[in-house]
Amino acid sequence: MTTPFGRLSDDDLATCVHCGLCLDACPTFRVTGLETESPRGRIYLMTQWKRGTMAFDEEQVEHIDLCLGCRTCEGVCPSGVPYGRIIEAGRADVEDLRRASLKRGTSRLALRQLVGHPGRLRAAGAATRLAQKLGLTSIARSGRMLPRLREEFRRPAGDVAPAIGAQKHRVAFLVGCVMPILYPQSHDAAIRLLQLAGCEVWFPPAERCCGALFAHNGDLAGASALRKANMKTYRAGDFEALVVDSAGCGAHLKDFYPELKGRVKDLTEWLAEIGLPSPARDMKLRVTYQDACHLAHAQRIKKQPRDLIRSMPGVDWVEMRHADICCGAAGLYSTLEPDMSSRILQEKLDDLLATNADVVAVANPGCQMQLESGLRARGSRMKVEHVSELLARAY
């Protein structure tokens, strides 16, 4: 612990000119109408704290807590305010100052003890699968949000999946911590697409959580420890690209792993770059797409997933209004701030249902869980699929 607000950079904060163009891009401003729940307001607050012109007031931390970290504001900010960096630093600074709250403390402990250790997370996944079979998970709200867990994702023997046809590329694949347990089918589809596109896929052994969930929740030390461990593994391998199919992880790897610079690729980014073979069958589906914040805003990737989906034969494409506004999932947010998360989700569901799509494609597990639980609650039959699963339908 250094000086109070030692991580927040005054120069980063000073890039905000207070023009307000970010306001309506912010999901929490959209539902509250309050300056205090807007990016401009949060920056104003953190600047006052940083410069010592306003005393730190624990009540006001709520405004920081309520930020989804979706970074939609960053994409619309003409001044180039590095909001993602500011909010992560601000959160880390705030964690040093506020009294340990039980909710936050527990979640941080759970993160460190669970997500940081693949073995424990797998055990939790197994326990949840059992609990779901016994019908126990419907008791708690967070339990109801979970998708029905399938058998966990398994790496191929020898940690390598060969290219189908001629090998043109060798890539590494981030297995990650949440995806293999919650959505193994997305991983399976992603890997199949990579193989079809001529990639030999390598699964770095001993790889752990990339650290994204830690950094997003103000635990920069935890994130940095994981980065060190993972870099050891990555350095031992030889690959053109590290392909990631969960947007939150991809954004974190691009920001926090300077050693990998340029080699971290979102699945859709990579597939758009190398091209997929001609599809084998028609889909006959009406499809829309929900941008993942960490893909659209943090990585500025909006075109590639849309282009890939639209190139599939038989796709009746429909663009959803406000597709690039957060659905309210935002990592652990839906658990930590269930009320705000649900208000944001309701706006999203209105736009989503208005598309009359058969399938909404997503690029991140958090969005998938959030939309699935929202659609279920509204009694809709619309399916939520990872882009990889949707594309794999054509092969």
Question: Hey, what amino acid is at 86?
Answer: I
- Quote the least distance from Cβ 321 to another protein, whole Å: 7
- Quote the least distance from Cβ 346 to another protein, whole Å: 14
- Figure out which of the listed residues 6, 19, 106, 110 binds another protein, where binding follows CB under 8 A: 19
Q: Rounded to whole angstroms, how far apart are CA atoms 216 and 248?
A: 9
Q: Judged by CB under 8 A, does residue 57 bind another protein?
A: yes
Q: Rounded to whole angstroms, how far apart are CA atoms 297 and 362?
A: 14
- Figure out which of the listed residues 66, 67, 70, 81 binds another protein, where binding follows CB under 8 A: 81
- Figure out which of the listed residues 1, 3, 80, 166 binds another protein, where binding follows CB under 8 A: 80
Q: Judged by CB under 8 A, does residue 22 bind another protein?
A: yes
Q: Judged by CB under 8 A, does residue 60 bind another protein?
A: yes
CB closer to another protein, 131 vs 318: 318
Q: Judged by CB under 8 A, does residue 21 bind another protein?
A: yes
Q: Which of 90, 98, 97 is nearest to 45 (CA)?
A: 90
- Figure out which of the listed residues 2, 78, 228, 262 binds another protein, where binding follows CB under 8 A: 78
Determine the interface stretch with another protein among 23-31, 142-150, 255-263, 324-332 (rule: CB under 8 A).
Answer: 23-31
Q: Rounded to whole angstroms, how far apart are CA atoms 142 and 146?
A: 7
Q: Judged by CB under 8 A, does residue 166 bind another protein?
A: no
Restricted to residues 321-350, the positions that interact with another protein (CB under 8 A) are 321
**Contacts for 193 with CB less than 8 Å, ≥ 6 apart:** 267, 271, 276, 388, 391, 392, 395
Written as six digits, the tokens of 255 are 């920001």
- Figure out which of the listed residues 7, 8, 25, 253 binds another protein, where binding follows CB under 8 A: 25
Restricted to residues 266-325, the positions that interact with another protein (CB under 8 A) are 321
CB closer to another protein, 74 vs 219: 74
Please name the residue that has the structure tokens 């829309």: 288
Task: Compute how many residues bind another protein; rule: CB under 8 A.
Answer: 39
Q: Does residue 294 sit in helix, strand or coil?
A: helix
Q: Rounded to whole angstroms, how far apart are CA atoms 370 and 70?
A: 14
Q: Rounded to whole angstroms, how far apart are CA atoms 32 and 46?
A: 20
Q: Which of 93, 132, 131, 95 is nearest to 111 (CA)?
A: 95
Helix, strand, coil share of the chain (percent; to 5)? 55, 10, 40
Determine the interface stretch with another protein among 36-44, 182-190, 252-260, 262-270 (rule: CB under 8 A).
Answer: 36-44
Q: Judged by CB under 8 A, does residue 76 bind another protein?
A: yes
> Are 131 and 42 in contact, with CB atoms under 8 Å apart?
no
List contacts with another protein (CB under 8 A): 10, 14-25, 29, 32-36, 41, 44-45, 47-48, 51, 53-55, 57, 59-60, 63, 76-81, 321
